[in-house]
Amino acid sequence: DIVMTQSPDSLAVSLGERATINCKSSQSVLYSSKKKNYLAWYQQKPGQPPKLLIYWASTRESGVPDRFSGSGSGTDFTLTISSLQAEDVAVYYCQQYHRTPPTFGQGTKVEIK
């Protein structure tokens, strides 16, 4: 199975500041012939199901604010929240879907400093 490792486990950021979450996969999730990275990001707030934010590593899901962006390729990926808002307090997960089984990172908790 592909192991997904996120860093940090938690971070505290001031309102309006940038938050950066990293995700590393144990093997490449780049499908070379299609030039696509099979990597998604989710946001989960307490008591709610995960919500899809980003897929194909950098494509924002419809309705997701543009302060959320995804980048990276191969084995190293980043989710950036450009200007943290109070409603962004949540746990964020990366997920690879290059190989079965799809696997998730352990999660990164984002809080307000």
Residues in contact with another protein by CB under 8 A are 38, 40, 42, 49-52, 55, 61, 93, 95-107
- Residue 46 CB, nearest distance to another protein (Å)? 11
Select 16 or 40, whichever has its Cβ closest to another protein: 40
Closer to another protein by Cβ: residue 75 or 96: 96
Return the number of the residue (16 or 33) whose C-beta is nearest another protein.
33
Q: Where are the beta strands (DSSP E) in the chain?
A: 4-7, 10-13, 19-25, 30-31, 36-37, 39-44, 51-55, 59-60, 68-73, 76-81, 90-96, 103-104, 108-112
Q: 94, 80 in Cβ contact below 8 A?
A: no
Helices and strands, counts by H and E, the chain: 0, 13
Q: How far is the CB of 73 from another protein (least distance, A)?
A: 17
CB of 50 to another protein, least distance (A): 6
